[in-house]
Amino acid sequence: MSDFTKPYEEKMIKSVKSLESDLSAIRAGRANPRILDRVQVDYYGTLTPINQVGNVSVPEARVIVIQPWDAGLLKAVEKAIQASDLGINPTNDGKVIRLVFPELDEERRKSLTKEVKKKGDECKIAIRNIRREAIDRFKKIEKKGEIPEGQLMSLEEEAQKLTDKYIADIDKVVENKNKDIMSI
């Protein structure tokens, strides 16, 4: 890759990583502690991620157990989970909080796969916008005479190859997540 396309490739990588992060928060019927990444607890006046106030474990395929290091936080953790958009009701036994994930029905699985596809399409649009931004920049620097005349075409081709590569990566990420959601 040339020095001209490097910053745009980095932006594309960040877009794909952001998609992966977004998709990890979508629950697929199995317990995944990453769905708690966005849930924050009021920890003595500071909003803090759950994994920073206690142990988060997955003892069974459909159960997450949260054990706060400070027992006084149980109610705050429970309240934060209820206020989140997880759609799971926590059970508090006085020592730990359990999140039991129900089996997803077919209709819910299909709606989740549509949501995953939509997020993938949004990421593809972001990648194409980065390509357009790169090509616009290449045209400007050619007009200024900062690159030889014939190099514009090769830079545009390089930007297109990067775009194709990262769009294929997005397709793989979306396909893997949909397989995960549809598997029982």
CB environment 95-122: b (16+ within 10 A), e (fewer):
ebbebebeebeeeebeebbeebeebbee
Q: Is residue 130, in this structure, part of any structural domain at all?
A: yes
Per residue in 72-115, pLDDT tens? Answer: 888 888 888 888 877 778 888 888 888 887 777 788 888 889 99
DSSP states along 88-116: ---EE-SS-EEEEPPPPPHHHHHHHHHHH
- 151 and 166 share one domain: yes
- The single-letter DSSP state of residue 73 is G
Boundary residue ending a domain (57, 77, 100): 100
Residue 8: name the closest of 160, 111, 118 by CA. 160
Phi and psi, residue 74, nearest 5°:
-50, -50
- The single-letter DSSP state of residue 28 is -
pTM for the model: 0.71
pLDDT score at 182: 81
Host H or E run for residue 43: strand 40-43
Helix (H, G, I), strand (E, B) or coil at 82: helix
Cα atoms found within 13 Å of the Cα of residue 88, Cβ hemisphere only: 29
Q: Is residue 1, in this structure, part of any structural domain at all?
A: no
Per residue in 147-160, pLDDT tens? Answer: 887 788 888 999 99
Asked whether the predicted pLDDT for residue 46 surpasses 70, the reply is yes
Q: Which domain holds residue 89?
A: 33-100
Residue 101: name the closest of 73, 60, 67, 68 by CA. 60
Boundary residue ending a domain (100, 125, 142): 100
pLDDT score at 9: 92
Amino acid at 81: I
Return the structure tokens found at 153. 């075409």
Distance CA 49, CA 55 (A): 11
Domain count for the chain, please give it: 2
- 57 and 147 share one domain: no
Boundary residue ending a domain (51, 70, 100): 100
CATH number at residue 133: 1.10.132.20
Per residue in 111-147, pLDDT tens? Answer: 889 999 999 999 999 999 999 999 999 989 888 888 8
- 68 and 49 share one domain: yes
Q: Is residue 72, in this structure, part of any structural domain at all?
A: yes
CATH number at residue 80: 3.30.1360.40
Sheet holding 97-100, edge to edge: 54-60, 63-68, 97-100, 91-92
Cα atoms found within 13 Å of the Cα of residue 181, Cβ hemisphere only: 24
